[in-house]
Amino acid sequence: MNKSILDSKGEILLVSQFTLCADVKGGRRPSFINAKEPKEAERLYELLAKKLNEKGIQTKTGKFASYMEVQISNDGPVTITIDSKNI
């Protein structure tokens, strides 16, 4: 956990998933009102992939706004979700 992705020479799997923006404070039905509009979200997704590649980080992407089934092996003791609004 003391190394960056550059230090570890790791890779990134970047997939779009608007459901991560779900707000469930209001009841049983999630609200996605805080998710970006699709065109803006895709622009940001592509920009992030470009910036990661420019840094020399091997990045694999899915197809934006498509159904994808992803299988991963999470190698590590922790998974951390970062809420950028609280940084």
Q: Give 26-77 pLDDT, tens digit per residue.
A: 778 888 888 888 899 899 999 999 999 999 999 999 888 888 888 877 777 7
* Cβ atoms of residues 56 and 79 within 8 Å: no
* pTM exceeds 0.85 for this model: no
* Cβ atoms of residues 24 and 30 within 8 Å: yes
* Cβ atoms of residues 10 and 18 within 8 Å: no
50: DSSP letter: H
Each domain of the chain, given as residue ranges in start order, spans 5-86
Q: What is the pLDDT of residues 73-82, one digit of tens each?
A: 777 777 666 6
Q: What is the CATH number of domain 5-86?
A: 3.50.80.10
Active site residues per annotation: 19
